[in-house]
Structure 1
Amino acid sequence: MKKTKILFYDMKDYDIEFFTKYGKNYNFEMKFLKVKLSEETAYLSRGFDVVSAFTNDDINKNTIDILAKNNIKLLAMRCAGFNNVSLKDIKNRFQVVRVPAYSPYSIAEYTVAMILAVNRKVHKAYIRTREGNFSINGLMGFDLYNKTVGIIGAGKIAQILIKILKGFGTNIIAYDPYPNYEIAKELGFEFVDLDTIYEKSDIISLNCPLTKDTKYMINRTSINKMKDGVILVNTGRGMLIDSVDLVEGLKDKKIGAAALDVYEEEEEYFFEDKSSQVIQDDILGRLLSFHNVLITSHQAFFTKEAVEAITVTTLENIKDFIENKPLKNIVPQDNN
């Protein structure tokens, strides 16, 4: 039986390790590329049946046109989000699938880690003691007990996060456009509107997808409604926050600290080693200069269990497509 030829873009060593291990169970011929998928690299897909891409690949109209010209039948995204895919330009020339869920525990647990780290200045203490400085001046945080945490987006990840935060004795309020009041009663939190989240929360965690309604929802207007000294945590999507307004909020000391695992212009930097280069992104450079900002490289998902789930789901998505089975993880396309 002829093997299905799959070209994987934007692969890291750990990706190759997992796909090599699990790919042995499938009738696939796999080629791994470390370059991102873009209109400059899409030509490499010629002769392949399926292309697999990741969260920061540039899948615009020109990229899509090249993939279609090369007779690509399926684009298999190895992530939940697909805002980097111009679906309206595909026009059903090929199908798109994704990995809607892998390990919600990984992101929920990491969110708590970021809250603790930025509140108790763990990242600063680590650097100090490595340099022989054992002073604790400037490292004071606050008890999480009895503080109010506002959760924006109350899906699976947020529900696990809420369970963990309840263990600290926090008060939880949440906003979601489709509130599940049964879950709220079960987990012991309250649904409120966004203004209440901004006004009442000591800590705000963004756990929602990027949509036209949520893009730049954290901006100068919403920041002005927040408590002085609020901690802002984003493990969702970079464009949920207007980074220029975030910088101003930090300078004005309206925002007490920010913990960011995502950034709106991250594709040039995150997942890459730029340690020998000057950061050209002025806003990112400014954020990195704040002592009360913790930035990590989109690693909240990064556990063994999550990468394993991403690998297997991606392979199963491709297998279902090849065998003409219903695609349970298909991404609907906009034909307008």
Structure 2
Amino acid sequence: MKIFVYSTHRFEKPFLQKAANDNHELIFSAFALEADTAKLANGCKAIIAFTSDDLSADVLDDLYYHGIRFIALRSVGFDHVDLLKAKQLGIKVANVPNYSPYSTAEHAVALLLALNRKLMVGQKLMKRNDFSLDELIGFDMYQKTIGIVGVGKIGGAFAKIMSGFGCRLLGYDPIENKGLALKTGLVYTTLEEVCQQADVVSIHCPLTPETRYMFNKVLFAQMKKGVLLINTARGSIVNTIDLLAALDNKTIAGAGLDVYENEKGIFFRNHLNTIIIDQLFDKLRNNQNVIITGHQAFLTQEALTDIATTTFYNLNQWEKGKSSTNEI
């Protein structure tokens, strides 16, 4: 099958090539998929798309016109795809519903520890030859209450890690994992109770119409003063304006973020010689109590292998005239 790969990053190309195993003709491009670049896939039967690509109705029309019948997403999220339009056109779409949950869970822990123990502040002081400790006080994780919003595979992996720290675990999820609760001591409760009791709140739920801006000024107002907020899920689950206000009034002592609600067009690109015009993002990344990474939580060898393998499983099934179990 001839396949066009949009938004190709250098770090993922070897994994995709290995998973393809010379069974497909791959055309790699650094260009993101949008209205002006849909024509690049002309003559291909399938595309491989990333979370930063535009798969809106008009773009899907253009892809169909140029011969695209299959879209393999190399991501879990599919909120950037107009699935109704794809179905109307008869374009099959599949995602990667599961890959190493430890990659994102461990990154959430890394953000939490760096935030709590003031590692970024400490490095800035050290580079200035300031070795004073006055601004670097953190707290023991032992016996602290950790709130986990979204206790799926990633949230579950995070729960197991934090259980090892000796933390008390509270979880919020429509589906309760009794086995996980038994192993870790996690107690399921309401979202409000999680926020009221937790010293740390870590977000691991998908972005849906119900979870968009779930974390807003109403929920922030219910949180324990001095809470740490970690988000490695989706940026739009958190209202950034309300988050900044909660940081200013000290309700939230710090935020560790791997995602940002307006990250499209910013993350995954080198802006060394360009100016980013986003006042909200500037306020967020310049806040001394915020650590931001550029949507890199998934970036481990194991996760990239899983993503590439599942992507080509989907494409191989379609090439054989079969359905993929990952179709959405």
Tell me the TM-score normalized by structure 1. Answer: 0.95
| Aligned partner of 1:80 among 73, 76, 80 | 76
Q: Does 1:118 align with 2:115?
A: yes
Paired letter, 2:49: A
8 Å contact 2:64–2:89 — kept in the other structure? no
Q: Match for residue 60 of structure 1? A: 56
Q: Note if contact 2:99-2:306 (Cα within 8 Å) is conserved in structure 1.
A: yes
Deviation of the 1:64 alpha carbon: 0.6
> How far does the alpha carbon of each residue in 1:38-79 deviate from its partner, in whole angstroms, 9 at most, with x for none?
112111111001011001111111111101111211000000
Letter in 2 for 1:87: L
Q: Which residue of 1 aligns with 2:184?
A: 187
User: How far has the Cα of 1:122 moved from its partner?
Assistant: 0.8
Q: Which whole-Å CA distance do the structure 2 matches of 1:69 and 1:285 have between them?
A: 40
Aligned partners of 2:203 and 2:231 also within 8 Å:
yes
**What does residue 236 of structure 2 align with?**
239
Deviation of 1:92 after TM superposition, in Å, equals 4.5
Contact (CA 8 Å) 1:6, 1:48: kept in 2 or not? Answer: yes
> What's 1:35 paired with?
31
Residue 188 of structure 1 aligns with an amino acid whose one-letter code is: G
In 1, the alpha carbon distance for the partners of 2:66 and 2:274 equals: 36
Tell which deviates more after alignment, 84-93 or 198-207. Answer: 84-93
Supply the distance in 1 between the matched residues of 2:146 and 2:49 (Cα, whole angstroms): 35
Counterpart of 1:219, as a letter, is: N
Q: Which amino acid aligns with 1:5?
A: K
SS of the residue corresponding to residue 149 of structure 1 reads strand
Count matched residues: 327
In the alignment, structure 2 segments of 5+ residues that lack a partner are none
SS of the residue aligned with 2:229? strand
Q: Structure 1 segments of 4 or more deviating over 3 A?
A: none
Instruction: Please state how far the C-alpha of 1:198 moved relative to its aligned partner.
Output: 1.0
Tell me which amino acid in the other structure corresponds to 1:148: T
Moved more, 199-208 or 171-180: 171-180
Note if contact 1:39-1:59 (Cα within 8 Å) is conserved in structure 2: no
1:157-196 pair list within 5 angstroms? 157-196=154-193
1:20-31 to structure 2, matched below 5 A, reads: 20-23=17-20, 25-31=21-27
What does 1:1-336 align with in structure 2 at a 5 Å threshold?
Answer: 4-23=1-20, 25-90=21-86, 91-331=88-328
- Cα deviation code 1:217-237 (max 9, x no counterpart): 000100000011110000000
One-letter code of the match for 2:213?
A: Y
C-alpha distance in 1, partners of 2:182/2:150?
16
Tell whether the 8 Å contact from 2:151 to 2:171 is kept in structure 1 after alignment.
Answer: yes
- Percent identity for Structure 1 against Structure 2: 38
User: After alignment, is 219-228 or 125-134 more displaced?
Assistant: 125-134
The Cα offsets for residues 244-274 of structure 1, whole Å up to 9 and x where unpaired, read as 1111111111110000000111011111122
- Secondary structure at 1:31 match in 2: strand
The residue type paired with residue 169 of structure 1 is G
Structure 2 CA distance for aligned equivalents of residues 325 and 133 of structure 1: 63
- d(CA) in 2 for partners of 1:276, 1:135: 35
Secondary structure class of the residue paired with 2:174: coil
Which moved further from structure 2: 275-284 or 222-231? 275-284
SS of the residue aligned with 1:129? Answer: helix
Distance apart, 1:134 and its partner CA:
1.8
C-alpha root-mean-square deviation of aligned residues, in Å? 1.2
- Where 1:37 maps in the other structure, the secondary structure is coil
- Partners of 1:19 and 1:268 in 2: CA distance: 23
- Bigger shift: residues 274-283 or 290-299: 274-283
2: distance between equivalents of 1:183 and 1:305? 23
Q: 1:10, 1:57 within 8 Å by CA — same for their partners in 2?
A: yes
Provide the secondary structure at the position in 1 that maps to 2:322: coil
The gaps in structure 1 that reach 5 residues or longer are 332-336
